[in-house]
C-alpha cells in the first residue's frame, strides 16, 4: 500500500443530502471504492484516492488545514467558513473550483406566517436565529439593518416558538421544514449548490498531477450530464435553420447520404438537455430520422 503522502484525500459529507451524489460523482470518474468497517473512510481500489466521510461543516477546515486535498461541500458552508475565518484574521486556505449542480438550496430569512412583513426594514430591531452568523451579519451590514444575529447550532426553526428570536436564517431546500413550523421565506441571502474546493497549499508534483487528473475527469462527467448526441437527416436547403435550433452545439458533422443529392446527415453533440419541443421544431424545419443518444464520456 502506498503511503498517505502519495494518496489524495477527498472530504465528503458523511450523511446528508450531498453524500450519495458526491460518491456517485466520484464513481463516475472511474473510482472504485470500498468502505472501511467503521464507515469513515472509502478506499480507492484502482486509484490512490481515498474519501474521508465527515460532517459537512468540517470540510472547509479539513481542506484549509491541508488534511484533505479536495472537498465536496455546499457553497453555504464554504461561504460561512470563509467569512468566519476572515473575521478571525486567518483567511481560508482553500479555493473553489467547480460548481456541481446538485445539492441546490438557499440560505434564507423566514418569519412566522402571522408576522406582517414589508421588506428588509421589517427586520429592524429584531433577533434572527441562525447557525450562519457570518453570512447573516454580512447581509445585515450591507443592507444597513440593525438586527441581532442569535447563534443556534441546530433546530433553528423552533427559535420563534421558543420566544428566542423573531426571525430565522437557515437553509431552505424543499421548503417543507419551514412549512411544518409555520414559517414563511422572506429574503434569500445565498443560492447554494455543492462545490469542489481544493487546498491552496502547494502539492508535491506527483499529487498535483493526480488532482489534475481527477478534476479533468470531473469536468468530463459534468459536461456529459446534460449532453446528447443528435443524429438527423436534413434537406441541404434547411441546414441553416436546423443548426440554429440545435441547443449548445459545436460545429456539426455533415455527411453525405447515399443516393440522395438534396439531403445530408447531421451529427452533433448538444451540451444542453434536448427537449421534445426541440425535436418537434427540428422536424418542422425539415429534419427527419431524428435520433438522440446519451453521451457516456467526453474528453475535450
Pairing of strands 127-130, 194-199: unpaired
Nearer to ligand PRP by C-beta: 59 or 70? 59
Question: ∠ CA(7), CA(8), CA(13), 5° rounding?
Answer: 135
Nearer to ligand PRP by C-beta: 108 or 199? 108
The site partner of 171 among Zn ion, ligand PRP, none (C-beta below 5 to 8 Å per kind) is ligand PRP
Nearer to ligand PRP by C-beta: 39 or 216? 39
Name every residue whose Cβ is closer than 8 Å to that of residue 169 and which is 6 or more positions away in sequence: 107, 108, 109, 110, 128, 129, 130, 132, 135, 136, 149, 156, 189
The site partner of 58 among ligand PRP, Zn ion, none (C-beta below 5 to 8 Å per kind) is none
Nearer to Zn ion by C-beta: 25 or 73? 73
Of the ranges 33-41, 56-64, 200-208, 241-249, which one interacts with Zn ion (CB under 5 A)?
56-64
Q: The cell 462545490 sits on which residue?
A: 195
Contact 237, 264 (CB under 8 A): no
Give the total of residues touching Zn ion (CB under 5 A): 2
At its nearest, how many Å lie between ligand PRP and the CB of residue 150? 15
At its nearest, how many Å lie between Zn ion and the CB of residue 58? 9
For 18, the grid coordinates are: 450531498
For 25, the grid coordinates are: 460523482
At its nearest, how many Å lie between Zn ion and the CB of residue 168? 16
Interface mask toward Zn ion for 108-147; x: CB under 5 A: ----------------------------------------
Secondary structure letter of residue 287 according to DSSP: -
Nearer to ligand PRP by C-beta: 73 or 274? 73
The site partner of 6 among Zn ion, ligand PRP, none (C-beta below 5 to 8 Å per kind) is none
Contact 172, 178 (CB under 8 A): yes
For Zn ion, the binding residue among 50, 56, 69, 80 (CB under 5 A) is: 56
Task: Give the residues lining the site for ligand PRP (CB under 6 A).
Answer: 16-17, 56, 170-177
Strand extents, DSSP E, the chain: 8-13, 33-35, 41-44, 49-54, 70-74, 94-99, 105-112, 127-130, 148-151, 167-172, 183-192, 194-199, 228-235, 253-256, 263-270, 288-294
Nearer to ligand PRP by C-beta: 171 or 274? 171
For Zn ion, the binding residue among 19, 28, 43, 57 (CB under 5 A) is: 57
Distance from C-alpha of 107 to C-alpha of 75, rounded to nearest angstrom: 10
At its nearest, how many Å lie between ligand PRP and the CB of residue 54? 12
Name every residue whose Cβ is closer than 8 Å to that of residue 170 and which is 6 or more positions away in sequence: 107, 108, 110, 130, 131, 132, 156, 157, 177
Which residues make up the interface to Zn ion (CB under 5 A)? 56-57
Amino acid at each position: 500500500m502506498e503511503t498517505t503522502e502519495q494518496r489524495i484525500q477527498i472530504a465528503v459529507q458523511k450523511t446528508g443530502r450531498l453524500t450519495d451524489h458526491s460518491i456517485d460523482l466520484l464513481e463516475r470518474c472511474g473510482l472504485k471504492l470500498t468502505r472501511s468497517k467503521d464507515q469513515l473512510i472509502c478506499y480507492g481500489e484502482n486509484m490512490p484516492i481515498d474519501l474521508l466521510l465527515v460532517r459537512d461543516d468540517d470540510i472547509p477546515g479539513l481542506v484549509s488545514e491541508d488534511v484533505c486535498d479536495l472537498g465536496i461541500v455546499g457553497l453555504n458552508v464554504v461561504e460561512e467558513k470563509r467569512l468566519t475565518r476572515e473575521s478571525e484574521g486567518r483567511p481560508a486556505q482553500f479555493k473553489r473550483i467547480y460548481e456541481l449542480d446538485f445539492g441546490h438550496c438557499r440560505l434564507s430569512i423566514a418569519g412566522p406566517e402571522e408576522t406582517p412583513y414589508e421588506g428588509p426594514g421589517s427586520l429592524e430591531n429584531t433577533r434572527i436565529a441562525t447557525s450562519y452568523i457570518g453570512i447573516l451579519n454580512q447581509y445585515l451590514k450591507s443592507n444597513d439593518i440593525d438586527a441581532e444575529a442569535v447563534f443556534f447550532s441546530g433546530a433553528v426553526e423552533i427559535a420563534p416558538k421558543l420566544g428566542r428570536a423573531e426571525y430565522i436564517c437557515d437553509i431552505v431546500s424543499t421548503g417543507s421544514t419551514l412549512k411544518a413550523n409555520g414559517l414563511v421565506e422572506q429574503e434569500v441571502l445565498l443560492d447554494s449548490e455543492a462545490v469542489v474546493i481544493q487546498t491552496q497549499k502547494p502539492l508535491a508534483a506527483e499529487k498535483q498531477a493526480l488532482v489534475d487528473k481527477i478534476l479533468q475527469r470531473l469536468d468530463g462527467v459534468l459536461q456529459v450530464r446534460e449532453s446528447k448526441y443528435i443524429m438527423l437527416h436534413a434537406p441541404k436547403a434547411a441546414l441553416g435553420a436546423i443548426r440554429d435550433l440545435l441547443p449548445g452545439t459545436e460545429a456539426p458533422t455533415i455527411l453525405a447520404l447515399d443516393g440522395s443529392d438534396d439531403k445530408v446527415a447531421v451529427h452533433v453533440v448538444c451540451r444542453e438537455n434536448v427537449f421534445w419541443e426541440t425535436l418537434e421544431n427540428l422536424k418542422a424545419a425539415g429534419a427527419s430520422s431524428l435520433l438522440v443518444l446519451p453521451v457516456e464520456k467526453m474528453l475535450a
